Structure formats: structure tokens, C-alpha cells
Amino acid sequence: MGMVLGRITVETPEYEVIQSSNDYEIRKYAPSVLAEVTYDPSQFDGKKDGGFMVLANYIGALGNPQNTKPEKIAMTAPVITKTGGGSEKIAMTAPVVTKEGSGEGEKMVTMQFVLPAKYKKAEEAP
């Protein structure tokens, strides 16, 4: 699901490279619609990527989609994870950016799936 021989095989958002060097690339992304879930990692044994299963169920990656239509949605990349400070890569099929936040005294995590480009507005998503 998503990567074959180091090559991403799922839809990724369109972008323009603004600046690049040997170490990094600055990109400008087109607007996208996201599906997101915010949770306390303790709900998933302290794992910051615990929301992945919630979103995978929403798009129907693991069976029948659990959304309002119900409509199966193709997997895309990247998967974005926000937790408070810096960023880190989490081993998955796509790059993940991490940033920490807090809610009611607990460390909260927000994970986002970028939905396919056919969804131009949030209202169009199932």
C-alpha cells in the first residue's frame, strides 16, 4: 500500500518547488482537503501514530469505509501528524511530519490524511 521499491505509488498533492539544495526542498502546495483526527496517544498505548487506524477505517483502507456516504477513498501521501515541537519521520508508507500540542493537560496529537484531488471542498468529502 503506497510504496514500491522506494517509489510512492499513491496520489500526492501537486506542488511547485520554490527553492532546493542538496539538503532540503521548499515547496508550495496547492490547496487540499484533509481528513483529520485529534487524540490523546494514551488511548493507543502511547503511540503517536494511533490515529492512523481511525483514518484508515474512514477511507475504507481496511474494509468497509466508515464515512457518511459510505464511499471508499483512495490512499494518498503524505500522512501528516502534528504534535508540539520539532518534527520527526515515522516509518510508514509515506512521509510524516510531527508537531506536538496540548489539550486539557495531556499531550494531544492530530493526524491528517490528504484526500484525493477530486475533493475540491470539504463539503464534497464523504
pLDDT of residue 50: 82
pLDDT beyond 60 at 36: yes
Of 23 and 77, the structure prediction assigns the larger pLDDT to 23
Domain range summary for the chain, segments of one domain joined by + = 32-124
pLDDT of residue 46: 73
pLDDT of residue 114: 92
Tell me the average pLDDT of the chain: 81
Distant-in-sequence, close-in-space partners of 7: CB < 8 Å, separation ≥ 6? none
Confidence of residue 90 (pLDDT cuts 50, 70, 90): very low
